[in-house]
A and B are shown apart, each in its own frame.
Chain A
Amino acid sequence: MARLLVVDDDPALVKVLRISLTARGDEVVVARTGADALQQAASLRPDVVILDLGLPDVDGVEVCRRIRQWSEMPIVVLSAAGDEQRKVSSLDAGADDYVTKPFGMAELQARLRVALRHGADRAGDHGAVELTVGPLVVDAAHHTATLEGHVLELTAREFDLLAYLARHAGKVCTHHLLLQAVWGTGYGTESNYLRVYAHRLRRKLGDAGTMLRTHPGIGYQLTDDDTDPADPPPRTARSR
């Protein structure tokens, strides 16, 4: 049983989410505006925030940024199809994952599950030296990574990338975030580097390579949640 904060200004969608999520045994709290969302997030400390980007008062990206100033609580963003730029902005501002409207409940619940588990992990092992994501163990102190006990042969940069993704397991890390963290502050647009390194990491991870998920045009996510969402991914590219 988790406490979920749903932030959306469309009353009908809010009702559907409340009914469906409550049926699963979760507690649902609703905020209609960005200001209300910030206040509820502070006072009720929800386990996860479901945040619509198009709010009547404060921009959803700004809500992400302000929550991140004081809390690591997982944030799953709801965004309209074709609004890739704001989706990326919200992830850069600290959101963990996104769901594109219109979405199926199974897909939303899968994302919430990932966010909840990794959110709890992150709260527990804050500053931990050893990071565990499924069969993968990353030891930041000794610069080693093991998969089911076998040591992976990684270059320094491959290790840095894997370690960053493991530290933010469950979060969709944008190209910009990864390049800045692993390559340095002078980088940010060289997403072709990432494609190469993601490919190498997947090959070295073997069967576990599916843990590293590609979000085309957005970034990468490392998660051990292998239950793929029941719904097919939204076909955002169709109209363009």
Chain B
Amino acid sequence: MASYPRALAGAATAAVLVAGLSAAMLLLRDHLSVAFDGLVLVVPVVVGVVVGGLAAGIAAAAVGFVVYEVVLIPQYGTSAVGAAQSWVALVVYVVVLVLVAKVVADQRHAWAEAAHREQETRRLFDLSEALIAETPDLAQRVVDTVQQTFGSGWVVLVLPNDDALHVAASAGLAAPVAQLDAVLGTPGTPVHLLEHPSLSLPDDPAVVALVADGHPVGLLAISPAPAHHHDRRLLATFANQVALSIARANLRELAVRSERLEAAEETRQILLRAVSHDLRTPLATIKASLSGLRDPGSGLAEPARQELLGLAEEQADRLDRLVANLLDVTRVEAGTLLVRRQPVAVDDVIDEALAILGRPPVTVALADDVDLVDADHLLICHVLVNLVDNAFRYAPGDIVVSAARHAGRVELAVADRGPGTAAVQLRSTASLVGRSAGGTLAPSAHLAGDGHSGLGLAIADAFVGAHGSRLSLDDNPGGGARLSFTLPVGRADAEDLDSTELAGSAVAAGAR
């Protein structure tokens, strides 16, 4: 549709042309035929239509008609038309002009339409480009694209989250999103967005429901509402595309979540299997010894009977330690681990740990300058028990427990001649590799079906972490693995019993 100023310009151009051509023909009108004059006067009308559209063309035709009839047809100066020939010329002139004006105007209209459609296609293409990309800020992309495409004042995308609606993204909005969110917050209550006093949303918006697969997935509000039917149609198409991509994003999120759940479930299974293996191992020994002792035909001599009883008792202790470790896991996870820092004599705590383990053949290497550490005696003793027990399970013999000064701290280490770090990692993934973000103990899937749970090392790691240090695993020079940690040097005159309640997160963070 030609606009008003353009029509005026077309009419003016046509009028000027009519005047000019008529003036020229006026001088020669006695030598020219009536039909020739009519033919020449077609030119301004066509120019008028091209420049100003149909209305301008008709105006030009009217002006041309008057000039033609009054000035160029014999009996000049009057509206009277003489010869029949002149009548025919006049009628032909009018019919031709109206038809030409119509054709040209239709043509222009078709052009405009085509241009509009092309633009629409380009915008849709831009939108699908924006939606197809795998980005976390899909919502922001949507509102930005919509705002650009429609040249809107503001655009808001509202999505359901759990039970409530929330503003996923907005563009061009003066009020902060949080404010809008607060208005939307309560499910079950009607919300008058536009009249809400704290928002004062400008202009009259259009709100489009986003529907995918027959389910509503959100709302898209755009202001001002598109006026033209082209734009409204485009908005509807946009809305469908956006709804589909939101539904797709929801599905993807669901897939990721179920994958994570599956992995967590698998981890739990592995841990459960490993723990049950750990618990059953001492039970096998206890049952085998006791059933052998009970059998009247076993033929066991007294020293053998004593040895079997000793083994059963030793394994019962081992079982007890395992159960204690399991309880510790729950303490660590519940965040109720209490660290009572006090000066601890290193030789004393090592000795106590070895006593708990029944004095295994272990070499203790204490540096001369190591005396006290600032730590929780009970927890550190437990850590040492678990580290030595672990080393023993995999490499009995040649186990060295050492303590030495290191950069202003005391380093405690347990080194073995076992299969080395690769094997330790495999059996202790619970503590050293697979701890999940939430701080729960989670061994990685590497743990073999019959592997040990690595519970002891996981506990040791958590306890060392509660001291603000960490358990590190290295290759023992000359073969085997070496697990170590450092503690601050303790002072004998330090104020005793500075206890710290640790939150679960603090334990988890420190332990990593």
**Chain A: which residue is nearest B318 at the CB level?**
A12
Residues of B near A53 (CB, < 8 A) are 450
Residues of B near A22 (CB, < 8 A) are 304
Q: Would you call B282 and A12 a contact (CB within 8 A)?
A: yes
Partner of A23, one of B301, B314, B423: B301
Q: Would you call B298 and A105 a contact (CB within 8 A)?
A: yes
Q: Any chain B CB within 8 A of the CB of A231?
A: yes
Count of A-B contacts judged by CB separation below 8 Å: 86
**Chain B: which residue is nearest A230 at the CB level?**
B295
Residues of B near A81 (CB, < 8 A) are 280
Interface stretch, picked from B28-36, B81-89, B166-174, B286-294, is B286-294
Which residues of B from 418 to 450 have beta carbons under 8 Å from A?
419, 423, 449-450
Given contacts A19-B308, A106-B291, contact A10 B281 (CB under 8 A): yes
- The smallest C-beta distance from B314 to any residue of chain A, in angstroms, reads 7
- The smallest C-beta distance from A235 to any residue of chain B, in angstroms, reads 13
A24 to B298, CA, bound (A): 6
- The smallest C-beta distance from A86 to any residue of chain B, in angstroms, reads 8
Q: Any chain A CB within 8 A of the CB of B277?
A: yes
The residue among B281, B288, B314, B449 with the most chain A CB atoms within 10 A of its own CB is B288
Q: Any chain B CB within 8 A of the CB of A108?
A: yes
A181 to B282, CA, bound (A): 40
**Chain B: which residue is nearest A78 at the CB level?**
B284
Q: Would you call B280 and A20 a contact (CB within 8 A)?
A: no
Q: Any chain A CB within 8 A of the CB of B259?
A: no
Interface stretch, picked from A96-104, A121-129, A189-197, A214-222, is A96-104
Which residues of A from 74 to 108 have beta carbons under 8 Å from B?
80-83, 86, 101-108
Q: Would you call A103 and B292 a contact (CB within 8 A)?
A: no
The contact sample of 23 A-B pairs, CB cut-off 8 A, is A10-B284, A10-B285, A11-B396, A15-B307, A16-B308, A19-B292, A19-B300, A19-B304, A23-B292, A23-B300, A54-B450, A80-B277, A81-B280, A83-B449, A101-B280, A102-B283, A103-B284, A103-B287, A103-B291, A105-B291, A106-B291, A106-B295, A107-B291
**Chain A: which residue is nearest B394 at the CB level?**
A56
Q: Any chain B CB within 8 A of the CB of A17?
A: yes
Interface 1/0 per residue, A18-31 and B, CB below 8 Å: 01101111000000
A104 to B311, CA, bound (A): 15
Q: Would you call B286 and A20 a contact (CB within 8 A)?
A: no
Q: Any chain A CB within 8 A of the CB of B140?
A: no
Q: Any chain A CB within 8 A of the CB of B402?
A: no
Residues of B near A86 (CB, < 8 A) are 449
A12 to B284, CA, bound (A): 9
Q: Would you call B285 and A16 a contact (CB within 8 A)?
A: yes
Partner of A20, one of B288, B314, B396, B423: B288
Q: Any chain A CB within 8 A of the CB of B187?
A: no
Q: Would you call B291 and A24 a contact (CB within 8 A)?
A: no
Residues of A near B295 (CB, < 8 A) are 105-106, 230
Q: Would you call B450 and A20 a contact (CB within 8 A)?
A: no
A101 to B315, CA, bound (A): 15
Residues of A near B394 (CB, < 8 A) are 56
Q: Any chain B CB within 8 A of the CB of A13?
A: yes
- The smallest C-beta distance from B293 to any residue of chain A, in angstroms, reads 9
- The smallest C-beta distance from A107 to any residue of chain B, in angstroms, reads 8
Q: Any chain A CB within 8 A of the CB of B214?
A: no
Which residues of B from 277 to 336 have beta carbons under 8 Å from A?
277, 280-289, 291-292, 295, 298-301, 304, 307-308, 311, 314-315, 318
Q: Would you call A16 and B314 a contact (CB within 8 A)?
A: no
Residues of A near B283 (CB, < 8 A) are 101-102
Which residues of B from 105 to 140 have beta carbons under 8 Å from A?
none
- The smallest C-beta distance from B280 to any residue of chain A, in angstroms, reads 6
Q: Which residues of B contact A (CB under 8 A)?
A: 273, 276-277, 280-289, 291-292, 295, 298-301, 304, 307-308, 311, 314-315, 318, 394, 396, 419, 423, 449-450
Chain A: interface size category? 20 to 34
Residues of A near B314 (CB, < 8 A) are 12
Partner of A24, one of B299, B307, B308: B299
Q: Would you call A23 and B288 a contact (CB within 8 A)?
A: no
Which secondary structure characterizes the binding site on chain B? Answer: helix
- The smallest C-beta distance from A240 to any residue of chain B, in angstroms, reads 12
**Chain B: which residue is nearest A55 at the CB level?**
B450
**Chain B: which residue is nearest A13 at the CB level?**
B285
Which residues of A from 1 to 56 have beta carbons under 8 Å from B?
10-13, 15-17, 19-20, 22-25, 53-54, 56
Residues of B near A19 (CB, < 8 A) are 292, 300, 304, 307-308
A12 to B276, CA, bound (A): 18
Partner of A80, one of B282, B307, B450: B450
Q: Would you call A13 and B396 a contact (CB within 8 A)?
A: no
- The smallest C-beta distance from A19 to any residue of chain B, in angstroms, reads 5
A53 to B277, CA, bound (A): 12
A120 to B306, CA, bound (A): 34
The residue among A56, A81, A86 with the most chain B CB atoms within 10 A of its own CB is A56
Q: Would you call A16 and B301 a contact (CB within 8 A)?
A: no
Q: Would you call A13 and B304 a contact (CB within 8 A)?
A: no
A193 to B396, CA, bound (A): 50
Q: Would you call A23 and B304 a contact (CB within 8 A)?
A: yes
The 5 A-B residue pairs with the shortest CB-CB distance, nearest first, are A54-B450, A104-B291, A102-B287, A105-B292, A20-B292
Residues of B near A104 (CB, < 8 A) are 287-288, 291
- The smallest C-beta distance from A85 to any residue of chain B, in angstroms, reads 9
The residue among A25, A104, A105 with the most chain B CB atoms within 10 A of its own CB is A105
A13 to B273, CA, bound (A): 20
Residues of B near A103 (CB, < 8 A) are 284, 287-288, 291
**Chain A: which residue is nearest B287 at the CB level?**
A102
Residues of B near A108 (CB, < 8 A) are 288
Partner of A12, one of B285, B291, B298, B450: B285
- The smallest C-beta distance from A105 to any residue of chain B, in angstroms, reads 4
**Chain A: which residue is nearest B392 at the CB level?**
A11
Q: Would you call A12 and B315 a contact (CB within 8 A)?
A: yes
- The smallest C-beta distance from B181 to any residue of chain A, in angstroms, reads 49
Q: Would you call A231 and B299 a contact (CB within 8 A)?
A: no
Q: Would you call B299 and A102 a contact (CB within 8 A)?
A: no
Q: Would you call B300 and A20 a contact (CB within 8 A)?
A: yes
Residues of B near A106 (CB, < 8 A) are 291, 295
Given contacts A24-B299, A25-B299, A53-B450, contact A16 B289 (CB under 8 A): yes
A102 to B287, CA, bound (A): 6
Q: Would you call A105 and B288 a contact (CB within 8 A)?
A: yes
18 extra A-B contacts, CB within 8 A, seeds A16-B311, A108-B288: A12-B315, A13-B288, A15-B307, A16-B289, A17-B288, A19-B292, A23-B292, A23-B300, A54-B450, A56-B419, A80-B277, A83-B450, A101-B283, A101-B284, A104-B287, A104-B291, A105-B288, A107-B291
- The smallest C-beta distance from B300 to any residue of chain A, in angstroms, reads 5
A106 to B291, CA, bound (A): 7
